[in-house]
């Protein structure tokens, strides 16, 4: 009997669900390698690799093999999948696994095939793909077979997936190669510029989650620890949400542009239905304060947030495998 798995190779996390059991694996999609002169060997993956992000080791790199909605390295990605499968199964031959992989809606067939190649190299020979935006819709309790078109924007770690779902297909879809990680990098830059302090990506992510806001008059603040660039010694400072807004706002402006461009491709009657049904927002980034009001103001349509935002794709996957 074949085992049924669903895999979401996200830019921030790799999530795997098993038929009848739900989510059985979720760890950061990070790999830590050590070496020099382009000769590296893997020293950690997942949770352990994330711990290395905050540390400085000579000749050590921490990266994700999945970025901007694409598989950047098939070899490293397949090594990660072997790591994940080994944590789920102790003695099951991978040839007994049927796998469904969630893929972004706006990538080419060549890029989509790379996701299947990752599975094949890891030992899973029976793999197929499903568009992640359809999985997101299912997690929102939307029936993708419904003829009424629904607009969905899933803002993840390294990508933003936009799609209009109807009749088990995507009427229009697009993928933007930016998400929460891009915002984290901008927060690192703004803290360096305005506070003369160097922080790491995990600290930037913490700032985003705690005081990230799209309200122009928000007064949230947070004390953070980093490297004072004047003294080159550890120090603390208070960071304000108004400065964080300055760093993340351009990314939301780009997301609005791609949503508008997607809507512009619809027929007039389809667009009317979409505008009536509104926008469903999903993804780990929707915890940002003021996000619903921002999209309402910019797009002029009602906005609903997904209750299972951070795990939306893999929850939807669990219902289609």
What CA–CA distance (Å, rounded) separates 36 from 204?
28
What average pLDDT does range 191-201 have in this prediction?
A: 95
- What integer is the mean pLDDT of 276-297? 91
Helices (H) and strands (E) in the chain, counts: 10, 18
In this predicted structure, the answer to whether residue 95 has a pLDDT above a threshold of 90 is: no
Instruction: Say whether pLDDT at 293 is over 90.
Output: yes
Extract the tokens encoding 211.
Answer: 């005081």
Q: What is the pLDDT of residue 57?
A: 65
Query: pLDDT for 199-227, tens place per residue?
Result: 998 899 999 999 999 999 999 999 999 99
Task: Give the torsion through C-alpha atoms of 133, 159, 279, 27, to 10 deg.
Answer: 70
* Domain range 142-305, its CATH number among 2.70.170.10, 3.30.2350.10, 3.30.420.40, 3.30.70.20: 3.30.420.40
What pTM does this model have? Answer: 0.88
Query: Using an 8 Å Cβ cutoff, are 312 and 6 in contact?
Result: no
Nearest to 155 by CA among 63, 300, 255, 64: 255
pLDDT score at 90: 83
CATH superfamily, domain 3-29+64-135+314-318, is: ATPase, nucleotide binding domain (3.30.420.40)
* pLDDT recorded at residue 288: 92
Check: CB of residue 261 under 8 Å from CB of residue 153: no
Measured CA to CA, the distance from residue 127 to residue 306 in angstroms comes to 28
pLDDT tens digits, one per residue of 308-317: 888 999 999 9
- φ, ψ dihedrals at 70, nearest 5°: -120, 155
pLDDT greater than 80 at residue 59? no
Task: Please name the residue that has the structure tokens 């990508």.
Answer: 159
- Which one-letter DSSP state was computed for residue 30? -
Residue 1 has pLDDT above 70, yes or no: no
Distances (CA, A) of 205 to 81, 82, 181, 188, 198: 25, 28, 8, 9, 14
Look at residue 144 in the predicted model and tell me its pLDDT: 66
In the chain, CATH 3.30.420.40 covers: 3-29+64-135+314-318, 142-305
pLDDT tens digits, one per residue of 120-167: 999 999 999 999 999 998 888 777 667 778 899 999 888 899 999 888
Residues linked to residue 22 through DSSP beta bridges, in sequence order: 18
């Amino acid at each position: 009997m074949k085992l049924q798995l669903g895999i979401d190779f996200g830019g921030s996390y790799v999530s795997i669900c098993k038929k009848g059991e739900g989510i059985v694996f979720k760890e950061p999609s990070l790999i830590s390698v050590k070496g020099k002169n382009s000769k590296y060997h893997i020293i950690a993956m997942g949770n352990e690799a994330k711990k290395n992000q905050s540390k400085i080791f000579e000749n050590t790199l921490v990266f994700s093999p999945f970025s901007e909605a694409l598989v950047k390295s098939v070899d490293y990605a397949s090594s990660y999948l072997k790591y994940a499968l080994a944590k789920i199964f102790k003695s099951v031959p991978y040839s007994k696994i049927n796998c469904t992989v969630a893929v972004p809606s706006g990538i080419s067939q060549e890029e989509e095939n790379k996701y299947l190649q990752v599975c094949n190299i890891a030992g899973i020979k029976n793999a197929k793909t499903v568009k992640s935006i359809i999985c997101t819709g299912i997690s929102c309790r939307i029936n993708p077979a419904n003829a009424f078109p629904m607009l969905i924007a899933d803002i993840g770690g390294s990508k933003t997936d936009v799609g209009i779902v109807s009749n088990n297909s995507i009427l229009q879809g697009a993928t933007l190669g930016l998400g929460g990680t891009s915002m984290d990098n901008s927060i690192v830059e703004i803290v360096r510029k305005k506070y003369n302090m160097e922080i790491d990506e995990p600290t930037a992510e913490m700032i985003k989650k705690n005081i990230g806001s799209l309200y122009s008059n928000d007064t949230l603040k947070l004390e953070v620890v980093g490297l004072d660039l004047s003294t080159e010694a550890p120090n603390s400072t208070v960071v304000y949400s108004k400065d964080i807004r300055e760093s993340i706002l351009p990314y939301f402006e780009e997301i609005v542009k791609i949503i508008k461009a997607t809507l512009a491709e619809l027929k007039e009657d389809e667009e009317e239905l979409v505008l009536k049904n509104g926008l469903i927002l999903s993804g780990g980034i929707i915890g940002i304060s003021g996000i619903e009001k921002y999209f309402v103001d910019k797009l002029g349509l009602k906005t609903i947030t997904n209750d299972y935002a951070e795990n939306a794709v893999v929850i939807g996957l669990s219902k289609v495998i």
